Amino acid sequence: MLDAFTALTRGTRLVYSRGLRRYVFLPITVNLLVYGAMLRYVLANFGGWLEGWMAMVPGWLAWLEWLIWPLFVVSLVVIIFFTFTLVTHLIAAPFYGFLAAKVEVVATGRPPLDDRGLLKTAVDALGRELVKLGYILPRMALLLVVSWIPVLNVLAPLLWLAFSAWVMAITYLDYPMDNNKVSFADMRRRLSSRWWPTLTYGGWVTLITWVPLANLFLLPGAVAGAVLMWERHYRGLVPARSPSPGGPGT
């Protein structure tokens, strides 16, 4: 049984092996530039954002400020991380989709079902990333609302962490699935049906993204690991059938 951590370690070794590592350094360079620009912006504004949040705490909860302040800090850090992740993956998606296709050839000995070439893979991967954003952003907005509701916001950090693991699973495991003509809806169904490997994989990738600078070099390994997870856990799942127009018995 291939577990999530083993997939990540094998994927990282694989992606830096001869024949694949040349596909890694361009997305690393792009992510480094984006991270640098966003980090500079966050450091300049973090204090003001935190003060604004604390100013909205109602007076009757002032006695809980010692608890609310660290919860706000954690929530704000998670939200910033989430924004970083969405932006960098949107930019790097064309490179990662192509990398996943190359890894699949090396790891399995066969190309993905939709072997589209560099340009087509890049364009389609960007379009698929926009579909992911359409799924993620409304749920992210709901969590933001929860983060502002007194009492409920105590749970916000845990909810953000669980949501982060799910989103990381969707983000990375979708690269090989998109390359193999698995629709976004079917991809989510497959991930839900194997919820434990899905969430553990997403959780490990989330941890990786929190490692400053090193994450830029480890995330391509997450792409390769996702290909291995796809091959072991998700490829053989039968797609859900659409119900016939006449219903059962027709």
Cα angle: 6, vertex 163, 156; to 5 degrees? 130
Asked if residues 184 and 131 have their Cβ atoms less than 8 Å apart, the reply is yes
Model pTM score: 0.76
Q: Render 140-200 in DSSP notation, one character per residue.
A: HHHHHHHHHSTTGGGSHHHHHHHHHHHHHHHHHHHHHHHHTT--HHHHHHHHHHTHHHHHH
The domain limits of the chain are 4-55+65-234
Cα angle: 115, vertex 172, 112; to 5 degrees? 15
Tens-digit pLDDT string for the chain (250 aa): 689 999 999 999 999 988 888 888 877 787 778 777 777 877 777 777 667 666 666 666 566 565 666 766 776 677 777 677 777 777 777 788 888 989 999 999 888 887 666 566 666 777 788 888 899 889 988 888 887 777 777 777 788 889 989 999 999 999 999 989 899 999 999 999 999 999 999 999 988 887 777 777 888 899 999 999 999 999 988 765 544 444 444 3
